[in-house]
């Protein structure tokens, strides 16, 4: 083990021991709360729903150290440079006007600067009209209600230093669009359904799929709109299981060879989050279908998949749950991911596919929560692809929410 790994391991152990010494009583609001189930937001993002009137503030942040293997899987030099990054600092600000109307927002500072690499972004900003539990109206910049991470992405709510790549590259979290719709709860079911701006196909790429097509509410092209929706079952304590979708044209009036590109794009996913005693399990399967992939490939100069798919399964167990440190959590975990942004490509472009984007990622590590709002994470990631150019890495992260 290299010196950097010894130092990182020592830092992790030091943080763990320090946390054991000072940990406080857990704040039960940081477990999956009633507001989280009902609104589709994380514990801190949902704080405004619990106040009677006036301002609500919350937030989260995370920083990440990454150390990469010096070699690719095929033995060639990786050229990857170790990095340390303050990934994001986020402020949730909400205002509840009365029992029927509220405003909620998320402002994110990325990479600790507004310089060349960093930015300040509005992650969501909407007004809710609270009519009754079964139906409410939401309008503004909204999170597309897909997957497990896109709506609930505060660092203490997920295992591992980095978010699952399936939910970054197949379902491109964090994904928001301008529009609105309805949401609510009926018995053991919760739902959301929106009409929003669609993706812009000119941002699609071979390796990151539809991720670059997110318009993020910034002078968004609105020639094409999209419909998204979600249905979850939460009738069993600790269990969330559901499906979601997004569908709409993405050409945004662009043309190739004088022919307008429609680029109908549909995402589908099924997801499960189950927490039983000390055990927590997540699973997700997602698929993206892109029409006019050949025309879009010409538009962007890369081979765009007409089908993209991804899957992951994750399990963790809190080894502190039956010890005298049971007011804290220490969770060894493992996650298996398989994803391909070029699972199918137009026949005319099949020869351009190298297998580099057909990937499998195994992550195993530890997540330690001295209190529910703070997470210290260390893990190793083994990345393989069909081209043999995968690079393994070690990660160390600290995240918090309030």
Q: What does the pLDDT read at residue 18? A: 55
Q: Is residue 107 pLDDT above 70, yes or no? A: yes
Euclidean distance between CA atoms 299 and 204, whole angstroms: 10
- Total-model pTM: 0.90
Residues of the chain with pLDDT > 90, as a percent, come to 89
> Can you name the CATH fold of 3-401?
Porin (2.40.160)
For range 222-248, the mean pLDDT: 97
User: Among residues 249, 188, 190, 202, which one has the least CA distance to residue 224?
Assistant: 249
The region of weakest confidence among 41-55, 110-124, 126-140, 325-339 is 110-124
Give me the DSSP letters along 295-313. HHHHHHTS---SEEEEEEE
Q: What does the pLDDT read at residue 118? A: 86
Euclidean distance between CA atoms 380 and 366, whole angstroms: 10
* Digit-coded pLDDT (tens) for 133-191: 999 999 999 999 999 999 999 999 999 999 999 999 999 999 999 999 999 999 999 99
Which pLDDT band, with edges at 50, 70 and 90, does 1 fall under? Answer: very low
* Digit-coded pLDDT (tens) for 243-261: 999 999 999 999 999 999 9
Q: What does the pLDDT read at residue 30? A: 39
Q: What does the pLDDT read at residue 188? A: 96
168: three-class secondary structure by DSSP: helix
Q: Is residue 315 pLDDT above 60, yes or no? A: yes
Burial (CB count within 10 angstroms: exposed 0-12, middle 13-18, buried 19+), residue 306: buried
For range 91-113, the mean pLDDT: 97
For range 83-101, the mean pLDDT: 97
Residues of the chain with pLDDT > 70, as a percent, come to 91
Sequence-ordered strand ranges (E) for 74-188: 83-96, 101-110, 119-132, 135-143, 176-186
For range 45-61, the mean pLDDT: 97
The region of weakest confidence among 117-121, 137-141, 194-198, 333-337 is 117-121
Please compute, for residue 92, the number of CA atoms within 13 A of its CA located in the half-sphere on the CB side: 21
Beta bridge partners of 382: 362
Q: Is residue 367 pLDDT above 90, yes or no? A: yes
Q: What does the pLDDT read at residue 25? A: 45
Euclidean distance between CA atoms 57 and 37, whole angstroms: 20
Which residue did the predictor score with more confidence, 337 or 34?
337
Q: Say if residues 267 and 243 touch (Cβ distance below 8 Å).
A: no
Q: Is residue 374 pLDDT above 50, yes or no? A: yes
Q: Is residue 22 pLDDT above 90, yes or no? A: no
Q: What does the pLDDT read at residue 26? A: 42
CA angle 221, 227, 231 (to 5 degrees): 145
Q: Is residue 24 pLDDT above 50, yes or no? A: no
Euclidean distance between CA atoms 71 and 76, whole angstroms: 6
Q: Is residue 17 pLDDT above 80, yes or no? A: no
Q: Is residue 316 pLDDT above 50, yes or no? A: yes
> Residues of 344-374 as b/e, b for ≥16 C-beta within 10 angstroms?
bbbeebeeebeebbbbebebebbbbbbbbbb
What does the mean pLDDT of the chain come to? Answer: 92
For range 114-130, the mean pLDDT: 92
Which pLDDT band, with edges at 50, 70 and 90, does 306 fall under? Answer: very high
């Amino acid at each position: 083990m290299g010196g950097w790994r010894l130092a990182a391991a020592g830092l992790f152990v030091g943080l763990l021991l320090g946390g054991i010494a000072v940990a406080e009583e857990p704040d039960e609001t940081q477990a999956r709360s009633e507001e989280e189930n009902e609104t589709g937001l994380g514990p801190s993002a949902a704080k405004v729903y619990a106040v009677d009137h006036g301002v609500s503030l919350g937030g989260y942040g995370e920083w990440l150290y990454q150390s990469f293997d010096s070699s690719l899987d095929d033995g060639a030099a990786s050229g990857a440079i170790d990095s340390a990054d303050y990934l994001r600092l986020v402020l949730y600000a909400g205002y509840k006007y009365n029992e029927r109307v509220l405003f909620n927002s998320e402002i994110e500072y990325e990479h600790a600067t507004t310089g060349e690499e960093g930015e300040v972004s509005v992650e969501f900003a909407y007004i809710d009209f609270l009519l009754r539990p079964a139906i409410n109206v939401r309008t503004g910049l909204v999170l597309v209600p897909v997957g497990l991470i896109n709506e609930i992405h505060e660092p203490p709510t997920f295992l591992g230093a980095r978010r699952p790549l399936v939910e970054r590259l197949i379902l491109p979290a964090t994904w928001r669009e301008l529009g609105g719709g309805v949401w609510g709860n009926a018995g053991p079911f919760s739902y959301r359904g929106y009409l929003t701006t669609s993706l812009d196909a000119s941002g699609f790429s071979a390796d990151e799929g539809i991720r670059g097509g997110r318009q993020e509410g910034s002078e968004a092209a609105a020639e094409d709109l999209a419909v998204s929706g979600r249905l979850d079952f939460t009738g069993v304590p600790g269990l969330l299981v559901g499906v979601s979708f997004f569908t709409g044209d993405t050409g945004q009036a662009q043309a190739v060879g004088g022919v307008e590109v429609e680029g109908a794009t549909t995402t589908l996913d099924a997801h499960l989050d189950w927490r039983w005693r000390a055990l927590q399990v997540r699973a997700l399967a997602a698929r993206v279908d892109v029409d006019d992939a050949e025309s879009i490939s010409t538009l962007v100069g890369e081979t765009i998949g007409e089908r993209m798919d991804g899957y992951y399964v994750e399990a963790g167990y809190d080894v502190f749950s039956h010890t005298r440190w049971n007011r804290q959590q220490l969770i060894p975990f493992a996650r298996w991911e398989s994803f391909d942004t070029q699972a199918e490509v137009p026949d005319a472009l099949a020869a351009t596919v190298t297998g580099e984007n057909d990937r499998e990622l195994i992550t195993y590590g530890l997540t330690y929560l001295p209190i529910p709002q703070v997470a210290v994470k260390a893990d190793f990631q083994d990345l393989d692809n069909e081209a043999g150019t995968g690079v393994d890495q070690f990660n160390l992260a600290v995240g918090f929410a309030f």
